Amino acid sequence: MPWKGIKDPYKIWLSEIILQQTRVEQGLDYYEKFIFFFPSVHDLATADEGVIFKLWEGLGYYNRCKNLITTAKYISEKLNGIFPNTYQDIITLKGVGPYTAAAIASFAYNLPFAVVDGNVFRVLARLFAIETPIDSTIGKHEFNELAQQVLDKNEPALYNQAIMDFGATVCKPVNPECGTCTLQQHCRAYQVGVVNKLPVKEKTLLKRKRWLYYFILQHQDTILVSKRTSKDIWENLYEYYLIESDAEILWNDTSIQQHLHHQLGIKNAKVTSVSLMVKQHLTHQLIQGQFIQATLSSIPHNLQQGQWHPINQLDKLPFPQFINQYKLIVG
């Protein structure tokens, strides 16, 4: 991983924001793209936001990208491009929480702050046989205090990277390498046979279900698009005309024509495609829906002020992955 061992706080911050809620294998390409196009915080701060969101496209959790832009502008404009060098100042940055602040403080400045990610939670829970749920308020406090206590204060950056790597490669979630583990004789969970029961979580994630039906309305060589501006998923990304429902809608040619006619004033639309049901799992939501493509002979009055974007320029707009999975049928 190219960010390992570096001391540049900008690159460390960038890697940590990208890796929030993202697997390393997926985040690596994005990190390299951002470093190539924006080698410094000034470059990121002065870049066109549409370009930044386009580069972020497919990474998900787009609020991270919004915070990235805000923080880059703040550091560039208010701090003359000089990244904060204390934990207390780093944690005030938009989108930076205790974990990310500790990572930047430790890896960039070798400050004595423990970095507690999922790997560290797991190692500590097993090594000390702690049954306190790691996702509880009490558990988070207990594990953070313990991590700080056992931190090597002389080499915090090296120690933090080591315990994180140890959790990723030896003390793995499933089938950990207990037989060859160098900490076996010190591991209380191993001694009492509860390794695979730890760490404990108390919360069961309940996912909200949403149905999104996108009408791809084409007139000549343009398609109607709009930018999502509400405080919701995919903020600042583009989408097609949307009908959202809390329950599944069964679309056929008749119901599609009726909706276009009664809701949008569109007559004699040619429905060219109705996709199969598609799904995307987000952390707290299950998104399901379809893409309904139709060609219009004219643009009705109530849609004339909409953004009709040239089809051959659509790839320049940032769309969520849910939309990108659908391949337009251009006709």
* Active site positions, annotated: 16
CB 158 within 8 A of CB 104: no
Integer Cα distance of 134 and 269 in angstroms: 55
SS3 of the chain: the string is CCCCCCCCHHHHHHHHHHHCCCCHHHHHHHHHHHHHHCCCHHHHHHCCHHHHHHHHCCCCCCHHHHHHHHHHHHHHHHCCCCCCCCHHHHCCCCCCCHHHHHHHHHHHHCCCCCCCCHHHHHHHHHHCCCCCCCCCHHHHHHHHHHHHHHCCCCCHHHHHHHHHHHHHHCCCCCCCCHHHCCCHHHCHHHHHCCHHHCCCCCCCCCCEEEEEEEEEEEECCEEEEEECCCCCCCCCCEEEEEEEECCCCCCCHHHHHHHHHHHHCCCCCEEEEECCCEEEECCCEEEEEEEEEEEECCCCHHHCCCEEEEHHHHHHCCCCHHHHCCCCCCC
Residue length, the chain? 331
**Farthest-apart Cα atoms in the chain, separation:** 76
